[in-house]
Structure 1
Amino acid sequence: MSRATITVDRDFTAGPVPRRIFGNFVEHMGRCVYTGIYEPGHPDADENGYRLDVLELVKELGVTVVRYPGGNFVSGYNWEDGVGPVDQRPRRLDGAWHTVETNAFGLHEFAGWAKKAGVEIMEAVNLGTRGVEAARELVEYANHPGGTYLSDLRKKNGASEPFDIKLWCLGNEMDGPWQIGHKTADEYGRLAQEAGKAMRLVDPSIELVASGSSNRGMPTFGSWEQTVLGHTYDVVDYVSLHAYYEEKEGDAASFLASGVDMDLFIEGVIATADAVRAKGKHSKHINLSFDEWNVWYQTARQGDDMPATIEARGGWYEHPRIIEDEYNVTDAVVVGTLLNSLLRHGDRVSIANQAQLVNVIAPIRSEENGPAWRQSIFWPFARMSELANGEILRLSTTSDRFETAKYGDADIVDASATWDEENGRVAFFLANRGLDEAAEVTATLRGFDTARITRAEVLTVPEGADRFTSNNEQNQDRVGLKPLSDVSVDGGTLHATLPPLSWAVVEVEVTKA
């Protein structure tokens, strides 16, 4: 059996839990929008075409903010195409995903959906094929109360009150050669600076996210952030990070240690941003927006084809099936560790968006004119969003280690924790990365008097199954949370035994000692 010891102290916290880290992402890609969140004519659709079965799962997932409309899609998108009478909107070719965009769903539809879902909007502007004027005009259309051409046009199109969107992304993955309108760091930095300045002149209350590196392996990583923030530091509030992980060639150990890479990525961007702060003698800190992250099987496809293959087949399609990964137990444990990494760095990671919400590498799946269900990765996100409240506790963790080909040795037990003083709860989020051995965890809670365990649940390999077990349309509940039985609290010490390959949440009722 593996072992880990954890110590937390009431007086050692990293700051408040940033609720925006429980964000997600809706892109006009594949079936995320069409037959995902929006399907007029579906038995569970409302009068606006929103799928209520999906909407209920979104609420259960606990999403706080949703990034829209892309993604690669936004770099070739004209926002004006998605407003006004639907029957007058143009059909366009989307080069990012080689699809036909009908524009039946646009800004007004998304704002209405977001209101029903109870989520904040994070809007992205096109800095690929467009620029300062289009970005400025979109802010005026969305946020200005009235009395101008664009704000009155919004009213004419059915929204008498402003959408009041506060979070704005200045483009998407502009460091990537795959991006429509790809730019050098200097080109993008200057454009983002001017676009951000113009947008703030329309609405000074908005928050802006500069486009950072698309992943830590980019050849320009580090230098990109340094150059871009050199141009934009006074204008923006956040810099973005994107990362996707997958199990390659059966290397489960490295895959399970993906959180190590996320830790290094986050800490590298913080160091670069703070170096720019020091060099420029700035007073404010730039925080991080990890606005795309997830498990994504880009190398070993799990069935659905990428746009290049769709193009090779010939033709352009409306909302084809693209990257509809079916997630298993191993994937869910990795997602739990990535959430731990984000939470541990919550003093600087202020926003995070799992990509994407429905069907496209998503925690929720749906079928056209059919059911919607939870994937395995749904559960760690949902429980952490529900229970991670109050303050982030700084952990002192000592764990047995395991070897990985990609990251060296890593902790077998990965953990994060929060203290909700208002409700008198400490929540531990624990992952056992060991494939074969259970893990015995001992956690000491200093400064707290513990009373009882109020929640103890675990996601692990179902009995008689293997780590590749997943949920699908025919078997929607094979992988999920069940009670964690081997757990107790004695005085100020928590004892828990985690099954092999598992993610668990343990919540303890506490008072100040």
Structure 2
Amino acid sequence: MKEAKLIVNKDFVIGEIDKRLYGSFVEHMRRVVYTGIYEPTHPLADKQGFRTDVIDLLKELNIPIIRYPGGNFVSGYDWTDGIGPVEKRPTRLELAWKVHETNEVGIDEFVDWTKKVNTELMAAVNLGTGFAKEAGNMVEYCNHSGGTYWSDLRKAFGHKQPHHIKLWCLGNEMDGPWQINHLTADDYGKKAKETAKIMKWVDPSIELVACGSSDPALASFPDWDRVVLENTYEDIEYLSIHRYYFYENNILDYLYSYIDMNNYIKSIVSTIDFVKAKKRTKKTVHISFDEYNVVNPVINQTIDTMRNGRNQKEKA
């Protein structure tokens, strides 16, 4: 048997690593926001209701950027429900995860929270039930200095300085039939292009991420990515991809997952390069791998059962 050799040299450099590669994700889903990072009744909650124990742990991780507010959630979300006095915000039926959304946490509160954990915000706009104008309004609210309706409204609600959010997602997983107001690749591509134009007219400094394939197992992959890129190539900086790996107490399934991921990335790179060549452009669109995780269904189900049992006891 031949022995494997590993050579490590600090001077062997392939390229610079974007620090955002180590980013994370917060969605209005299950306990992620409510009782996860935000729980006003918790003994360790700060004045805004955010859990300081969670803040301390996240600061140790030194996460460079966090995506918010979704996820599937964003495709049915009206961002204006989450601004202004908390007591006047509406409670909505949240259709992605089938819960009541109280809107206690919105864009302003989340920006405040990112400062507490020393991270940046990657915002997502609704391209499911939402429209281009609404996305432009959100950019104006968050990034414009003042003197306009939306920017002055932000000031009136307690944030005099702009949030300066530089990275924005044009929706979430719009290739997925499970998504609220799922679109075809061509319909999404056209909608994303027009939305991108408005958002960059409001703030030319922002970077945009178009929805690529959310799962290489879908029949639409990778043609979805090609069609979206042909519509949006000159208007975006990144194409998103998502991948989750499920295993049931089999470590080999997890260890072998890198092969699938490597093939997935190669296919997306090839698709981007094809559209780049077809358009005769010098611009290179990069990949935003903004959802990834390894999930053990047994453990996940056990945790959910424990949480549901605890919630039932609290209600009793």
Q: Same fold (TM over 0.5)?
A: yes
Q: Is the 8 A contact 2:62 2:118 kept in 1?
A: no
Structure 2 match to 1:267:
266
Tell whether 2:105 aligns with 1:109.
no
Instruction: Tell me how far apart the structure 1 counterparts of residues 2 and 138 of structure 2 sit (CA, whole Å).
Output: 54
Tell whether 2:257 aligns with 1:254.
no
Judged with a 3 Å threshold, the aligned counterparts in structure 2 of structure 1 residues 29 and 226 are, in CA distance, closer, same or farther, namely same
Q: Is the 8 A contact 1:22 1:62 kept in 2?
A: no
Structure 2 match to 1:170:
170
Structure 1 match to 2:38:
38
Q: Is the 8 A contact 2:247 2:297 kept in 1?
A: no
Report Cα offsets for 1:135-183 as digits up to 9, x if no partner.
0100000000000000000000110000000000000000000000100
Report Cα offsets for 1:247-286 as digits up to 9, x if no partner.
15x6542332111111111111111101110111111111
Q: Which residue identity is paired with 1:89?
A: R
Q: Is the 8 A contact 1:213 1:225 kept in 2?
A: yes
1:304, distance to aligned residue in structure 2 (A) = 5.5
Structure 1 match to 2:27:
27
Report Cα offsets for 1:78-123 as digits up to 9, x if no partner.
0000000000000000010000000011111100000111111000
Q: Which residue identity is paired with 1:284?
A: K
The 5 A counterparts of 1:441-460 are none
Three-state SS of the structure 2 residue aligned to 1:31 is coil
Three-state SS of the structure 2 residue aligned to 1:255 is helix
1:297, distance to aligned residue in structure 2 (A) = 3.7
Three-state SS of the structure 1 residue aligned to 2:235 is coil
Instruction: Tell me how far apart the structure 2 counterparts of residues 238 and 44 of structure 1 sit (CA, whole Å).
Output: 38
Three-state SS of the structure 1 residue aligned to 2:67 is strand
Three-state SS of the structure 2 residue aligned to 1:284 is coil
Q: Is the 8 A contact 2:124 2:168 kept in 1?
A: yes
Instruction: Tell me how far apart the structure 2 counterparts of residues 90 and 206 of structure 1 sit (CA, whole Å).
Output: 30
Q: Which has the higher helix share?
A: 2
The 5 A counterparts of 1:73-112 are 73-112=73-112
Instruction: Tell me how far apart the structure 1 counterparts of residues 307 and 164 of structure 2 sit (CA, whole Å).
Output: 33
The 5 A counterparts of 1:408-487 are none
Question: Structure 1: any 5+ residue segments left out of the alignment?
Answer: 307-319, 323-366, 369-513
Judged with a 3 Å threshold, the aligned counterparts in structure 2 of structure 1 residues 299 and 231 are, in CA distance, closer, same or farther, namely farther
1:42, distance to aligned residue in structure 2 (A) = 1.4
Structure 1 match to 2:245:
245
Report Cα offsets for 1:375-408 as digits up to 9, x if no partner.
xxxxxxxxxxxxxxxxxxxxxxxxxxxxxxxxxx
Structure 2 match to 1:218:
218
Structure 1 match to 2:314:
none
Larger Rg: 1
Three-state SS of the structure 1 residue aligned to 2:270 is helix
1:302, distance to aligned residue in structure 2 (A) = 2.3
Question: Structure 2: any 5+ residue segments left out of the alignment?
Answer: 312-316
Judged with a 3 Å threshold, the aligned counterparts in structure 2 of structure 1 residues 228 and 301 are, in CA distance, closer, same or farther, namely same
- Superposed CA RMSD in Å reads 2.1
Structure 2 match to 1:471:
none
Instruction: Tell me how far apart the structure 1 counterparts of residues 84 and 245 of structure 2 sit (CA, whole Å).
Output: 39
Structure 1 match to 2:279:
280
Tell whether 2:6 aligns with 1:6.
yes
1:9, distance to aligned residue in structure 2 (A) = 4.6
Q: Which residue identity is paired with 2:206?
A: I
Instruction: Tell me how far apart the structure 1 counterparts of residues 297 and 200 of structure 2 sit (CA, whole Å).
Output: 37
What TM-score do the two structures reach when normalised by structure 1? Answer: 0.58
Three-state SS of the structure 1 residue aligned to 2:110 is helix
Three-state SS of the structure 2 residue aligned to 1:294 is strand
Structure 2 match to 1:289:
288
The 5 A counterparts of 1:174-189 are 174-189=174-189
Tell whether 2:122 aligns with 1:122.
yes
Judged with a 3 Å threshold, the aligned counterparts in structure 2 of structure 1 residues 136 and 245 are, in CA distance, closer, same or farther, namely same
1:298, distance to aligned residue in structure 2 (A) = 5.1
Tell whether 2:232 aligns with 1:232.
yes
Judged with a 3 Å threshold, the aligned counterparts in structure 2 of structure 1 residues 98 and 273 are, in CA distance, closer, same or farther, namely same
Judged with a 3 Å threshold, the aligned counterparts in structure 2 of structure 1 residues 57 and 10 are, in CA distance, closer, same or farther, namely closer
Three-state SS of the structure 2 residue aligned to 1:133 is helix
Q: Is the 8 A contact 1:139 1:203 kept in 2?
A: yes
Three-state SS of the structure 2 residue aligned to 1:175 is coil
Instruction: Tell me how far apart the structure 1 counterparts of residues 298 and 10 of structure 2 sit (CA, whole Å).
Output: 44
Instruction: Tell me how far apart the structure 1 counterparts of residues 144 and 202 of structure 2 sit (CA, whole Å).
Output: 8
Judged with a 3 Å threshold, the aligned counterparts in structure 2 of structure 1 residues 90 and 261 are, in CA distance, closer, same or farther, namely same
Judged with a 3 Å threshold, the aligned counterparts in structure 2 of structure 1 residues 54 and 11 are, in CA distance, closer, same or farther, namely closer
Q: Which has the higher strand share?
A: 1
Judged with a 3 Å threshold, the aligned counterparts in structure 2 of structure 1 residues 202 and 287 are, in CA distance, closer, same or farther, namely same
Three-state SS of the structure 1 residue aligned to 2:278 is helix
What TM-score do the two structures reach when normalised by structure 2? Answer: 0.93
Q: Is the 8 A contact 1:154 1:160 kept in 2?
A: yes
Q: Is the 8 A contact 2:62 2:119 kept in 1?
A: no
Q: Which residue identity is paired with 1:263?
A: N
